[in-house]
Structure 1
Amino acid sequence: MRKLQVQGVHHITITGADRRTSIDFWEGVLGMPFLFEQPNLDNPDEGHLYFDPGDGRLITVFTNEGRKADTRPPPARPGHVHHLAFAVSRSTFAQAVERLDERGIAHSGPKDRGFMDSIYFREPLGLLIELACYRFEPPAGASHADVLHEAHRIRVERQDRAIGDTHLVDAIERLVEHGRSSLSSDRAPRNPYA
């Protein structure tokens, strides 16, 4: 038995209502360029809209002009999507409350997640959307996932409840120490002011 190794998210497809609602939200609120559209090749009664969330991957929406927006949250049952999270810059996150308030979009307010900050709100069809901003930048050659994996290991070693700033800083230090060569035989912390 062998795995089918994935290499990232290719796209996420959402069942939408009408075309205009989809464009107004995904491009008009979240700023995702509307790249192209074509018929849903499995259902000729639906359109298929493609948006770029900022990393070159795709968010796609099936539309039907006969479907009306239903703002009730989708059921929270096993196998159903709880929410979609999109990365934003620290600057964008700092403006999120103001910009959501300008539009009258109800939201959670900023949430401290230890290794990131988040804010939640619902899109016009009730799907929960999260805007997330990491509190760190990974060192060159490492990913956010690498830092979080190492921070988790440190958190478990220390028997802490959740990842916080100290775990992130120490994880980044470990990744640099193990991932970068040095002419020093001893790379222990020093005090040059003593």
Structure 2
Amino acid sequence: MRGNGIHHVTAISGSTHRNLDFYTGMLGLRLVKKTVNFDDPGTYHLYYGDEAGSPGTILTFFPWEHAAPGRLGIGETQETVFRVPAGSLGYWTHRFLEKGVRHETPEKRFGETVLPFRDPDGMRLALVASPGIEGEAAWTAGEIPVENAIRGFQGISLLLENGERTGAILTDVFGFTQGATENGVTRYKVADTTIGGIVDIRSAGGFLPARMGKGSVHHVAFRAADDRAQAEMVKKLRENHGIQPTEQKDRNYFRSVYFREPGGILFEIATDEPGFAVDEPQASLGRDLKLPKFLERRREEIEAVLPALA
């Protein structure tokens, strides 16, 4: 089975407008889809990514205006890491200072230079200096120069009581390979995937459990090329790991199954197809509110309760 890495990361935010301003303005990502939480249609579901909304570039949010702040702890995605060209960290450090973005000093991890920072709701993010990606396509319609623009995810880090069983799922089901351990963190990597191909696991027993809220990652989705590949992954989860995922759910832009990995984090397996251009042209992605067919009859009601977005 070919490993594909991360499809998307979904998190919880507070203010919709503040979230939109930060990810499209401050970070220069494209709003590739404006829809609603299919299970809570009074709430937006906003998708940010590259020009085409490619798997491995997508960070999505449920903006729950009155949610309490989350608390980092065991059983949570600790950090989401974006790739930027190797010479651009100085630009980003200056930009964060100028705009008042909370950030830390650059540090070394697995031989790479990483700049950790937070979004307005406290979500833990980082930029990693990635050599040789300058020629990759980037969304540059905003104010970020192309030579500094984000090129999708490098990956995520997980904070777990014990990461051994989770690591076994990464290697057996998703095609990762276990690599080095540094400062208590074990790196898992997909050999043929540069975008979204890394998961770092920190096993830290004895910490308080995580509390979901603003700034928390709700779930992490891993890629499956199609329904057949997804079914193969589900079979391995059942037979090799004793995990029973949900039935497949149609999310319009991908088809998903969900399960809790052994450390308690919600994982999703999402198909690459059909993609975000299935209901609007790529040139106008994110412009209009898109609803699934079963909610179209409620469009007027839904639009009346959602905050207006430019």
Q: Alpha-carbon deviation of 1:13? A: 0.8
Q: Pick from 76, 80, 86: which aligns with 1:84? A: 80
Q: Does the C-alpha gap of structure 1 residues 118 and 80 become closer, same or farther in structure 2, counting only changes over 3 Å?
A: same
What aligned pairs does 1:132-151 form with structure 2 within 5 A after superposition?
Answer: 132-134=128-130, 136-137=131-132
Q: Distance in 1 between matches of 2:50 and 2:74?
A: 26
- What's the RMSD between the two structures over aligned residues? 3.4
**Per-residue Cα deviation, 1:56-107 (whole angstroms, up to 9, x for no partner):** 231111124x436x6x5x4232211211111111232121211111112232
Number of positions where the alignment pairs a residue of Structure 1 with one of Structure 2: 140
* Bigger radius of gyration among the two: 1
CA contact (8 A) 1:49 1:62 kept: yes
Give unmatched runs, 5+ long, in structure 2.
Answer: 134-153, 155-176, 184-310
Q: Which fold has the larger relative contact order, with Cα–Cα distance below 8 Å and residues 6 or more apart in sequence?
A: 2
SS of the counterpart of 2:66?
coil
Give unmatched runs, 5+ long, in structure 1.
Answer: 139-143, 162-194
What aligned pairs does 1:67-82 form with structure 2 within 5 A after superposition?
Answer: 67=66, 74-82=70-78
Q: Pick from 101, 104, 109: which aligns with 1:108? A: 104
SS of the counterpart of 1:67?
coil
CA contact (8 A) 1:53 1:59 kept: no
Structure whose residues are more often strand by fraction: 2
After superposing the two structures, state which structure 1 stretch, 96-105 or 106-115, moved more.
106-115
What aligned pairs does 1:1-150 form with structure 2 within 5 A after superposition?
Answer: 7-52=4-49, 56-57=54-55, 58-64=58-64, 66-67=65-66, 74-134=70-130, 136-137=131-132
CA contact (8 A) 1:36 1:49 kept: yes
TM-score by length of 1: 0.60
Q: Distance in 2 between matches of 1:94 and 1:82?
A: 24
Q: Does the C-alpha gap of structure 1 residues 43 and 5 become closer, same or farther in structure 2, counting only changes over 3 Å?
A: farther
Q: Distance in 2 between matches of 1:53 and 1:17?
A: 23
